Amino acid sequence: MSDAKTQIDETVKSNDVVLYMKGTKDMPQCGFSSRVAGVLNYMGVEFTDVNVLADEAIRQGIKDYSDWPTIPQLYIKGEFVGGCDIITEMTLSGELDQMFDQNGVTYDKDAAEKIREANA
């Protein structure tokens, strides 16, 4: 296993929620990363952000690791959940709430409802 894959594997498995993104949760560098980080931040989810722009090996490595071609990528309890479109759909359907509940991830249920109301 390459150094990048080992590093990714350790990060994904040792943190409850991880977002591989362009930029950081405080300063996203693309619209898709901004949307997913914004949802997590708004819902009060504690998550680890990994800036793929800071390391080319990680940027390519995460695509190989998940067999998913795009960034951002969200992981919950070591499991790949999806990218921007999937996270958006899951947020609006309530599936993301269910996944957080099932995995013991703390989030603001009222904020999740406000997102759905605003997009109804």
Record the pTM.
0.96
Q: Is 30 annotated as a binding residue?
A: yes
Per the prediction, the chain carries an average pLDDT of 96
d(CA 100, CA 60): 27
1 has a pLDDT exceeding 70: no
d(CA 105, CA 79): 13
Please give the domain boundaries of the chain with CATH numbers for all domains.
3-118 (3.40.30.10)
In tens, the pLDDT along 47-103 reads 999 999 999 999 999 999 999 999 999 999 999 999 999 999 999 999 999 999 999
38: helix, strand or coil: helix
Report the amino acid identity of residue 45: V
SS3 content of the chain, % helix, strand, coil (to 5): 55, 15, 30
In the chain, pLDDT over 70 holds for what percent of residues? 99
d(CA 68, CA 66): 5
